Chains A and B, each alone.
Chain A
């Protein structure tokens, strides 16, 4: 009888420990989840890049700084993948990112490409899509399902394109916004092992808009609106 009682308490202890462990792991996942979301929204701060003066030496400085930051992250990721730094030391890293570059590197590279090589009228909505649409799509997909997430995601992306292109003709504004938002949602929805969606959600709409812009320009029409951010 006494042995049975001991056994029950031992079993209870194990169950209790298991529940505690589960809660701990759950809380870690929860932390990482919000941490990653906030990292996304924080990246919108990089739009300050366009506010800095256009003088040659400042342009060199700000471009150099952006390249430097991405290069630093690149080295960090190289060392991590090579095993010189432990992957477990990186907070919020997902399992599938253990053997490939983490999504923040893709995110950084995409932002760098947009800031340096694309006009801000194309870059800004694409960056906003990655900063806000991506985490919102993630949250809605997590709570309600994929279909709802992509519909709302599309509307949010479209809103960003409409805001940026609001000064052009109405038909062009909607044309560009629908194309841009569709490309952003496709970039987010289509999952590749090597190319992260954080990269695709920015670059895919940017490339499509660049082609559209150049296509129209070839026909003698400049559809690009006025700049949204004017340098100081």
Chain B
């Protein structure tokens, strides 16, 4: 049985960890938001304003992507702040 929560320990310091996280953090947080905005915009322009319901799936997806990401981004940013203080 593998141990699910055990991670490989880094030999470096917190600085190295922070650098790795800070490098990845902006695209990880911004990309899903941009994609959601893109879906919402497309739904509004091609669907809502023209009265075509075929685009309703895009708004549903945008809401799922946005809310799902916000749900996990908040603790991630909090943990990042905690690490940067150490």
Contact = CB atoms under 8 A, between A and B. Distances in A.
B8 A87 contact: yes
B7 A28 contact: yes
A95 B3 CA distance: 8
Contacts of B83: 27, 31
A91 B9 contact: no
Given A38-B72, A95-B8, A228 B17 contact: no
A1 interface: no
Interface string B46-86: 10000000110110110011001101110110011011001
A44 interface: yes
A39 interface: yes
Nearest to B53: A167
B65 A98 contact: no
Interface residues of B, number: 47
Contact of B65 (A25, A27, A39, A44): A44
Interface in A46-93: 47-48, 51, 87-88, 90-93
Contact of B21 (A31, A40, A124, A142): A31
A214 interface: no
Contacts of A48: 35, 38
Interface stretch (A127-135, A180-188, A204-212): A127-135
Interface residues of A, number: 50
Contacts of A87: 8
Given A95-B3, A124-B61, A132-B68, A34 B82 contact: no
Given A41-B68, A96-B2, A90 B82 contact: no
A232 B58 CA distance: 12
B38 to A, nearest CB: 7
A27 B10 CA distance: 12
Given A47-B61, A163-B64, 10 more contacts: A28-B7, A29-B7, A31-B80, A42-B32, A92-B7, A93-B8, A95-B8, A131-B68, A193-B2, A230-B55
Give 7 closest A-B pairs by Cβ, nearest first.
A228-B57, A91-B20, A96-B2, A34-B76, A45-B31, A132-B68, A95-B6
Interface of A: 24-25, 27-35, 37-42, 44-45, 47-48, 51, 87-88, 90-98, 124, 128, 131-132, 135, 142, 160, 163-164, 191, 193, 226-230, 232
26 contacts: A27-B82, A37-B72, A40-B72, A41-B72, A41-B73, A42-B27, A42-B28, A42-B29, A45-B31, A45-B32, A51-B42, A88-B8, A91-B20, A91-B21, A95-B7, A98-B8, A132-B68, A135-B72, A163-B64, A164-B57, A226-B54, A226-B57, A228-B61, A229-B58, A230-B55, A232-B42
